[in-house]
Amino acid sequence: MIRVLIADDQTIVRAGFAALLAAQPDIDVVAQGGNGREAVRLAEAHRPDVVLMDIRMPEMDGIDATRRILADPANAATRVLVLTTFDVDEYVYEALSAGASGFLLKDSTAEDLVSAVRVVARGDALLAPQVTGRLIREFARQRRARPRPAPALATLTARETEVLGLIAAGLSNGEIAARLVVSEHTVKTHVARVFTKLGLRDRAQAVVLAYESGLVTPGGAEE
């Protein structure tokens, strides 16, 4: 069972998400909160697999709540799926930087919501890579900030660096295997080593680090 915590300040939205997810045979909604502070408390109490986190909430916003939840070593297995009203929202990038595993528009279909929860729970793919990739590149353009050095990148082998770049391009393990003409098992091994060496939780963090370090530049990765 995938244990889910829903954090949203709109009661109707929370109830709707809860009813939809609870109807799935493999999903259990363990708690609901109306603000970021409650989300942090409930995450500590229930240790959910996935947190559906609204960004704009009273008392504590979803970004701070995400950062606090994921900073707790006891939540090492918890993944945060950010909910947003707009497909271009400056806070989405901040949430990904805080450790969120992906984002989902609030007006997404029921099928997309359920699928997103399952994908994030597995931790094996960034949500909607073709959309998220464009989003991250757009914020990279808007910020026009200098790359943030990531000394740990120097610990990667040439192949591992190549794999990280392809992850940032939104490619799945299978697609990376085809591109490099190796087995998918080999790719999984490379990905695991990249995550371990760089201290990454999942592919979302890998994408953010690749852009912020300058390993991948806006427009340089594939759509």
Distances from the Cα of 9 to the Cα of 37, 38, 43, 82, 93, angstroms: 11, 10, 16, 13, 21
pLDDT digits (tens, 9 = 90+) for 57-78: 988 999 999 999 999 999 989 9
Rounded-to-integer distance, Cα 159 and Cα 74, Å: 32
Predicted local distance difference test score (pLDDT) of residue 131: 55
Ranges of beta strands (E only) in the chain are: 2-7, 27-33, 50-54, 79-84, 102-105
pLDDT digits (tens, 9 = 90+) for 161-190: 999 999 888 788 899 999 999 999 999 999
Nearest to 26 by CA among 54, 53, 52, 50: 50
Nearest to 168 by CA among 116, 203, 121: 203
